Structure 1
Amino acid sequence: MLQNFAAVNMDDVSGLTALDLRPTGGDDIVQQLNTAARRPRWGWIAAITAFILGAALLPWGFIIWAVAVPGCWWLFLRDALQKNVVLLYDLEDAPAVWFDRFTTAWGTAAASDRLWRTVESGHVQTTYQHKTNAGVEAIVRRVPAMARIQQPKRLATNVDIPTLRAGKDALYFLPDRLLVCSGKHYSDVAYRQLSVRRSVTRFVEQPGQVPKDTQLIDQTWQYVNVKGGPDRRFKNNPVLPVVQYGQLELTTSQGLAWSVQSSRATAFDDSAALLLNAPA
């Protein structure tokens, strides 16, 4: 694969967002999160209004600001309570052991130098495309991703949650389900419905962009001939490093689709194995 998509038709492979995924958790947590996300931030609205009004009525505006401060502070505290959903876990026995092991394994993924999510992919179909795209069979477009262990946005829990984020989209690996977030919209997926696939892939990287924890396995050229050597007709034909990346694919029959690459080939080994054996 190569991160270059010149003259190749690309297809969206990012799957459905949380807005389109039907929740499968069987309770109202997702509904509570979506309701909390839609609530306006009255504290900011009041603060901005008071500032504008006070500025327009100076010097009397100082009195308006003094009166508005405690009211705005109270609204900020109220917003913080209403825009968060509390979910407490009492983990015991096998579920507790599984989640503790998964959280530890996720730390290995978080330690990768670089992570990416693949959002578009296209197959090389013609000889010309093959020769001008380093001889690869598929082209992808990726966006940076991050793996963390943290508290989910708008969800207050008593445990830290393994998190995978790419742009405005995020996956939160809760003890009992996978929480899917797209902007201000939430859905969830039961672990029993999640398909997990881990693999190692060859990737043609750009010069000077090889992460420090990546294994360099070969090299190629931007323009190649039919036998795989450099095409001598191009004077500017840079040498491209071929590296080995890890890949984690999380999908469901409903349309969730996350394909994540890690600069460290083994980054997702343990966490993928644990997801395949998540408690029902």
Structure 2
Amino acid sequence: MAWSYRKRIKVIPGVHLNFSKRGISTTIGVKGASINFSKSGTTVNTTVLGFSTRHKLSVSGPNPVSHYPGLPENQPYPLEENIFSADIHEITSQNMQGIKEAIILAQQQKKDLTSDLKKINRALSITKAKKILSYIFLYGLIKKEIPQNSDHDIKAQQEAIKQTKEMIEKCYVNLEIDFDSEIKRKFEKVYESFSKLTTSHKIWDITSAHFQDRVATRSSAGTIVSRRQVNFALRAIPYIKSDYQALYMKNANGADIYIYPTFIVMYNNENNFAIIGVNELNLYQTYTRFTETEVVPRDSKIIGQTWAKVNKNGTRDKRFKSNYQIPVVRYGNIRLSTPTGLREEYEFSNYEFTEEFGKAFREFQLEFRL
């Protein structure tokens, strides 16, 4: 019996982004879904199996660039609490669901094709074994059509393996981005400034911040933070291909963050991820006066000195004989939040790179609010 192979071929939606001063237009592959951001609101158009729907989404909520009043230098964290994002299944933006579905489709197709590839490889092994056995037991020499049919099946199976591997390599969402020249210049500035930010000698994820009684502890620091060193990079996320790699931020206590020009992916694994519109992101950049009890990073600036034990007025408490000086350094600080539940905070040893990135990102984001 001739061997047959049923290909599992689906058209994976691509995502095409158009950036202009009128807003962001996003077209999502074969489903015909498009998302348009403008000053008047967000309009979602979808066409699935010949039926089309149109509805308008409100863009109420905080402006994407928040400006908080300056905090006291010795009180950089406004709340006494742990700092982490909401559950990954709760924070996908409503108008980003189409892109999420496109990624899920690419993932499922790869799984299906990988399963098919295993079956074809198994069938190829069996066919080769049958051909060898036909010669060992001589019936292949008597009936010439038996090895000939095996050769035909082997050729078909080898071709199917080749085609399946090629299709597996194409299981991704192709992200095509067209910028207006001015917007492209501003995004490339974001890209370049983030590249610099990744070279900071130290990057920490702030996982909690708690006030402390400075009088009781005899300390100059009014806030105790828990921090874990992480890395930032330009990195591609699985199942998305783009001319621009994502701005990758490692998250010490949750899903990692990947920032693309029009959306943010919070990614644990292929089964647990969320997509948030970049217009919903609040990015607040400031600086922190940090009492550094560890080694001062080589790219940080010491802006003062304090003592391990201090009086109320900040002077050295002479009652402690082993009292010693501690450097006060200036670190960059970035807080990220969205109405849907993203909430993260990072600290950087290089304040200048932090400030440059914060400014570039705000200018890029504000382009769509003019």
What TM-score range do you get, normalising by the shorter chain?
Answer: 0.7 to 0.9
Aligned to 2:284: 197
CA pair 37-117 structure 1, distance change in 2 beyond 3 A:
farther
Shift in Å, 1:122: 0.6
Contact 2:282 2:336 (8 Å CA) reproduced: yes
Aligned to 1:107: 195
Aligned to 2:141: none
TM-score normalised by length of structure 1: 0.72
Q: Could you tell me which amino acid in structure 2 is paired with residue 98 of structure 1?
A: K
Structure-2 separation of matches of 1:187 and 1:210: 36
Contact 1:17 1:182 (8 Å CA) reproduced: no
The one of 318, 323, 342 aligned to 1:256: 342
The one of 143, 149, 168 aligned to 2:234: 149
3-state DSSP of counterpart to 2:178: coil
Contact 2:96 2:275 (8 Å CA) reproduced: no
CA pair 218-147 structure 1, distance change in 2 beyond 3 A:
same
Q: What is the CA deviation profile of residues 195-241 of structure 1, one whole-angstrom value per residue up to 9, with x for unaligned ones?
A: 1211111001124x210000011222333333323444545544322
RCO higher in structure (CA 8 A, sep ≥6): 1
Shift in Å, 1:115: 0.8
Identity of aligned residues (%): 18
Shift in Å, 1:154: 3.6
Q: What is the CA deviation profile of residues 41-79 of structure 1, one whole-angstrom value per residue up to 9, with x for unaligned ones?
A: 968xx7xxx9xxxxxxxxxxxxxxxxxxx9999998876
Q: What is the CA deviation profile of residues 101-130 of structure 1, one whole-angstrom value per residue up to 9, with x for unaligned ones?
A: 2111112211211111111111114632x4
Consecutive unaligned residues of structure 1, counting only runs of 5 or more, are 3-8, 51-69
CA RMSD of aligned residues (A): 3.5
The one of 83, 96, 121 aligned to 1:13: 83
Shift in Å, 1:136: 1.1
3-state DSSP of counterpart to 2:353: coil
Structure-1 separation of matches of 2:269 and 2:319: 48
Contact 2:302 2:328 (8 Å CA) reproduced: yes
Residue 357 of structure 2 is aligned to residue 271 of structure 1? yes
Q: Could you tell me which amino acid in structure 2 is paired with residue 173 of structure 1?
A: I
3-state DSSP of counterpart to 2:177: coil
Aligned to 1:90: 178
TM-score normalised by length of structure 2: 0.56
Structure-1 separation of matches of 2:360 and 2:313: 42
CA pair 36-269 structure 1, distance change in 2 beyond 3 A:
same
Aligned to 1:170: 256
Q: How does 1:208-223 map to 2 (within 5 A)?
A: 209-223=295-309
Aligned to 2:310: 224
Structure-2 separation of matches of 1:266 and 1:143: 21
Structure-2 separation of matches of 1:101 and 1:126: 42
Contact 1:24 1:188 (8 Å CA) reproduced: no
